[in-house]
Amino acid sequence: DTEVTQTPKHLVMGMTNKKSLKCEQHMGHRAMYWYKQKAKKPPELMFVYSYEKLSINESVPSRFSPECPNSSLLNLHLHALQPEDSALYLCASSHGGTGLNGETQYFGPGTRLLVL
Amino acid sequence: QQQVKQSPQSLIVQKGGIPIINCAYENTAFDYFPWYQQFPGKGPALLIAIRPDVSEKKEGRFTISFNKSAKQFSLHIMDSQPGDSATYFCAAQETSGSRLTFGEGTQLTVNP
């Protein structure tokens, strides 16, 4: 099973709201990722967690706050977002650890976020 | 150095045709090259991947050709079907890194 699940599928929020995106995998993967994807563009890496520790933050604004409660779960907390943050947010996982040795990243279906 | 250049941006073929999507890279430290297929509103799904120690890999109707000296690789879709209509992304990754460097994507349309 190579499934990564994400909830919710769609989310509409105002600029003053606080919301969270959730991601779950049960493949025993130890690396998990958040990506942002705009229409007709490739995914852009936001954060990487390796063994439940944040290993990469691609200079993402603090209004995005990641959390990895355990090895199977990844959250992305959203606060005071801007309309330009509207995008498809993708979670991915791979076997992981530092030095991924080309391990395949498996993507979830994404959360379509609209910020009004 | 970190870029992966993908072409064409869009491609239209007839059913049964063989679309070819090309990618080129500069970073010789890249040693893993996956292709992802993405349908509208869905996440990217791994299609096929190759390492530089082989020049070709086939999985079903999908073939990757790899030219290490030219730092180029390409995806061929044999006997293309309307259901293959999607956006295709090539990508590259270093063994020591955790970043996937994506190409800009190719929107493929297969007409019936």
DSSP codes joined into one string, B78-109: TT--GGG-EEEEEEEEETT--PPEE---EEEE
Residue B99 — pLDDT band, cuts 50, 70, 90?
confident
Q: Determine whether the interchain pair A90/B44 forms a contact, defined as Cβ–Cβ distance below 8 Å.
A: yes
Q: Output DSSP code: residue A62.
A: T
Structure confidence by residue, pLDDT tens digits, B26-84: 999 898 999 999 999 899 999 999 988 899 999 999 999 999 999 999 999 999 999 99
Look up residue B95 and give its two tokens: 């063994």
Q: Determine whether the interchain pair B99/A4 forms a contact, defined as Cβ–Cβ distance below 8 Å.
A: no
Q: Identify which of B85, B107, B95 has the alpha carbon closest to the alpha carbon of residue B33.
A: B95
Instruction: Please give the class, per CATH, of domain B1-51+58-76.
Output: mainly beta
A contacts of B34 (beta carbons < 8 Å): 104-105
Yes or no: say if B93 and B83 are a contact pair by the CB < 8 Å rule.
no
Q: Determine whether the interchain pair A90/B42 forms a contact, defined as Cβ–Cβ distance below 8 Å.
A: no
Q: How far is A110 from chain B (nearest CA, A)?
A: 6
Q: What is the reported pLDDT for A103?
A: 78
